[in-house]
Every structure is written in C-alpha cells, then in structure tokens.
Structure 1
Amino acid sequence: MIKIQRLNLDNSWFLQINELRLLIDPWLEGTEVDFFSWFNTQWHRTKPLSFQDVPEFDAVLITQKYPDHFHKETLKKLQPQKVIAPSSIQKALKKILPEAEIVGMSKAEPELEFLGTTFTFLPTSRKIDPIYDAFMLESEGERVFLATHGFHPNTEQISFMKKGPGCEVLITPFNEYRLPALLGGTVSPGIENVKELVDILKPKHVFATHDEDKHATGLVSKFAKITWAKSEKELRQISWLADRYQNLNHYNQITLS
C-alpha cells in the first residue's frame, strides 16, 4: 500500500509505504536561507499544511543537506523521534534534535531497514557542491524513487534501479533551474532528466516536486534561469509520460495501491 500527500506545494511530502509513515523534507514555516540572506532567501508563495494537520509519522527523511530540505525550524517544531539523512548533516541534526535517533546514510553505509522498508542511498557522481543524491525505498515488492533535484545515475546505479520489481512511484522535478557555474550550475535538470529516469525505472506514477514558484530575493534569484514545466494538458500529451503523470496540486492524501 502506498499513500502520498503534499505538505507544501514545493518539496515536502508525506509518504506511507505499507507499515512505514514518512515525512520527506518538511518545510512548513518561515524562510530558507542559503549561506547569507543576500545570497539566497526564499519563502512559500502558497501556505503549507499546518503543523496540526500533519499526519502521524514514524520518521523524517531529509534527502539533501540544503536548508529547503533540511529546514531546522520546522524540525524543531515537529520533534521527530527518528531522522534518516545524508551523513554530512548527522551532527547538525543531533545538535537541534538531541533526543532523536539520527541515522546517517552515505556511500559507505548505503542501506537501512526500518519498519519493513529498505532505504538505499544513491550518491551523485559529482565531487563538489552542489551535491544532489537520490533514494530508493522498497517494501513488499513496492518501490519509490526519490530524486528531489533530478539524478543522472552511473552504470552500476542503473543496474540496481532496473533490478527487482517495477517502480510504483517516481518523485522528481520537472522544472529546469540553472545558475552560472560559480553559483552552482544546474539545480534541476528538467524534463529530459524525467524521461531518463522514466526510461530506467518504468514507474506507474510520476509526481513533480520542487515546483513551487516561491518568493525569492538575493543574488541567486537575479541569475536563475528557470524553464517551468508544461501545463497538465501538455504533459499528458507526452507519450512516455501520459497516464503516469499525477498532478498533485493540493494537500489531500491519495492512495495509489
């Protein structure tokens, strides 16, 4: 069984896969600041789900180390008992959540079992920032692939992604977001990368993420070049996407299987 729900209209999700109830990258209030406010400050244009309406959860998954994924103020309010995250932020998480169990994942420790679900960490091939990794979640023959900034797998990772049962859900950005190389280069690779992942995974359902037109100030917003995703009608006319595309533009929880 898979249930899914947006917690904001950007990149925060609730995901239930059989017994496991998971919050992904929760950011439910305030701003996200990269390094300095003058460099990049963003905040939601659409109000997120309220804290009181967040579904009960067993753990939080942080997919990336950046503040729109690792949002400290939201985590302090949620006070999760267990957080799964890249090992690069393990110490920072323990500092703000001293009572929580913090599980770091890395190339050296790429697998974790929790409540009947296997988490597999797929590191990017990039060696310098920005570094955007991906995760595979598997439980009782159902698979969810999370690539919250897109993902270009290497040969070994492609072999892993093609193994086992088919993929039920792919969550990845449709927008293309690019900066000059000195400011980070490609932040989201756009629809062509969605096709790359669909060709490998053959998912039943594809959800766009990181797609809110947020308020933004600072240097990054002045240089960002964004190509927004096509309309729902146009996306459904793309042969390889068509019936796979799920337009989850609300906060209602849906059941997929």
Structure 2
Amino acid sequence: MYLTWLDSNSWLIEIGNQRILLDPWLVGSLIFGNVDWFFKGSRPQERPIPENIDLILLSQGLEDHAHPPTLKQLDRNIKVVASPNAAKVVQGLGYTSVTSLAHGESFTLNNQVEIKAFPGSQIGPTLVENGYLFKELETDLTLYYEPHGYHSPQLKQFAPVDVIITPIMDMGLPLLGPILKGTNSALEVAKWLQPQVMLSTAAAGDVIFEGFLTKFLKTAGSFEEFRSLLEKNNLATKVIEPNPGDRFELRLEKRAVAI
C-alpha cells in the first residue's frame, strides 16, 4: 500500500493495484461560496494532476472535498464514488460514471478493492456525510478515512483496521464548536480499531489560509501529545507525519479482519 498526501484532505491511495484520488484539491484556490474575503486557501504552486487514476472518491460535497476547479481539470470519464451530496456536484460537472454511496453501502473497484460508506461528518443540523473503509481483497488489508473526526460506533464490528487517516489535532470556532475533532476522537477510534498506523489529515501542509474566518480559528494538540496518549493507553499504533507530495509505502503486518 502506497500513500501520497496532497495537502489538506487530499490523498492518492494506491491499494490493490488501484490508484484512488481522494477528496482532491490540486489546482486553484479553496473558496467557499465564492466569498474569498471570508476564507481562502492557496498554495505556492499547484499540485500536478496524478496520472492513471482508477477512481475519484469524495467524502463530502463541500469545496474542500469536492473542489470544483480540480474536478473540472480531471477526466470526466474517470469513475467517481461519492457521498450523495458530493455526487450531485460531479454529476453537475458532467462526469459520466458516478456512484452515490449511502451509509452502509459498498462499492467494489475492479474486483480489487471494496469501499464501504459509514456515517461521517455532520454538516449542519441534518446532513451527515461519509467516512470510508477500504479493503484490499487479495490481502484483507484495511484502511479507514474520515476527514473531520466523526467516527461511527458501527466501525467497531470491523476491527481491527490496519490504517486510519483522520485528524489528530483539534480545530474549532468559539461558540460554534469543533470543525475538526482531533485528539480525543482519534484516540477513541484507535481504541476501537487497534490500527497498526495512523496518519493525520486536514492539516495545512504547504497551504496558506487567509480571510476573516482565520482570525477566530483555534487549534490544539500535537503529534507528540497524541503519541503519548497512545502509549498511556497501551496502543502500539505508529503515528506517521507525512510530507506533502511525498509518496511512501506502508509496510503492514497481515492480520485477521472481520470484514
């Protein structure tokens, strides 16, 4: 299994000889609702569009997961699996093969990788987006991704899971509460799933954030603090701090899984 973190929530996951582009923001700025004075993300240089993509996987319909400028640059014939909200975005952009995955539903990619949707981040009072559990069918190796730290107790029945990608640090707004549920939420899911490896997502990497909202964002936690919490809870999980753009291999032990 190879992973490449592409900043923010964006990943290239190579599993089961498949190349899966996850929540890609690679070109242009990140702006919500075309209001750049309120919040804007930019990077010194754009990320190259990865080649030979087998699947685009989208966990949410918001711009930091289903980024319209990036999606417009990608081949509209690439298969897409998405939360129902994100599926509307790519369908509106003219993608030709879109699978909307509701919670509890699964999709199998080229007989190599099974992707199962779980309840993920809550957006507003009623919308719950997707987290995903990947299974490499040949080896039974598994990976779980949820980009805001909202983890469904339904995951417990699929333990152990080999790799978790989720926020490890907290981010929130005064009065409004958490945007990213990091330290405690990550520790809880680590206890549930007993992963071999955890990686943090939703960090800035090389990205520069600006705008009115950034004045009020509060962050807490660190990799060192989280490693200490794992040790105190007798968890042997390895925490990896990826560098943006670097492709690296995860060397995992094969374990029995319950999927």
Task: Give the TM interval when normalised to the shorter protein.
Answer: 0.7 to 0.9
**Cα 1:125–1:89, aligned 2, differ >3 Å: closer, same or farther?**
closer
1:138 aligned onto 2:131: no
1:123 aligned onto 2:122: no
- Paired residues, what number? 242
**Cα 1:246–1:46, aligned 2, differ >3 Å: closer, same or farther?**
farther
Counterpart among 206, 213, 221 of residue 198 in structure 2: 206
1:178 aligned onto 2:175: no
Q: What stretches of structure 2 of length at least 5 have no aligned partner?
A: 252-259
Greater mean alpha carbon deviation, residues 114-123 or residues 126-135 = 126-135
Give CA deviations for 1:163-203 in whole Å, capped at 9, x if unaligned.
xxx32210001121112455xx3111111111111111111
Counterpart of 1:176, as a letter, is: D
With structure 1 as the length reference, what TM-score do the two structures score? Answer: 0.83
- Between the two proteins, what is the percent identity of the paired residues? 23
Which whole-Å CA distance do the structure 1 matches of 2:13 and 2:100 have between them? 20
Counterpart of 1:101, as a letter, is: S
Q: What stretches of structure 1 of length at least 5 have no aligned partner?
A: none
The equivalent of 1:191 in structure 2 is: 183
1:95 aligned onto 2:89: no
Assess if the C-alpha contact under 8 Å between 2:120 and 2:131 holds in 1: yes
RMSD: 2.5
The equivalent of 1:5 in structure 2 is: 4
Counterpart among 51, 66, 69 of residue 70 in structure 1: 66
Counterpart of 2:247, as a letter, is: Q
With structure 2 as the length reference, what TM-score do the two structures score? Answer: 0.82
- For residue 92 of structure 1, give the secondary structure of its aligned residue in structure 2: helix
Assess if the C-alpha contact under 8 Å between 2:59 and 2:86 holds in 1: no
Give 1:105 shift: 0.9
The equivalent of 2:254 in structure 1 is: none
- For residue 73 of structure 1, give the secondary structure of its aligned residue in structure 2: helix
**Cα 1:18–1:195, aligned 2, differ >3 Å: closer, same or farther?**
same
The equivalent of 1:114 in structure 2 is: 109
Give 1:13 shift: 0.7
Which whole-Å CA distance do the structure 1 matches of 2:171 and 2:67 have between them? 21
Which whole-Å CA distance do the structure 1 matches of 2:238 and 2:61 have between them? 29
Greater mean alpha carbon deviation, residues 238-247 or residues 71-80 = 238-247
- For residue 121 of structure 1, give the secondary structure of its aligned residue in structure 2: strand
Counterpart of 2:141, as a letter, is: E
- For residue 243 of structure 2, give the secondary structure of its aligned residue in structure 1: coil
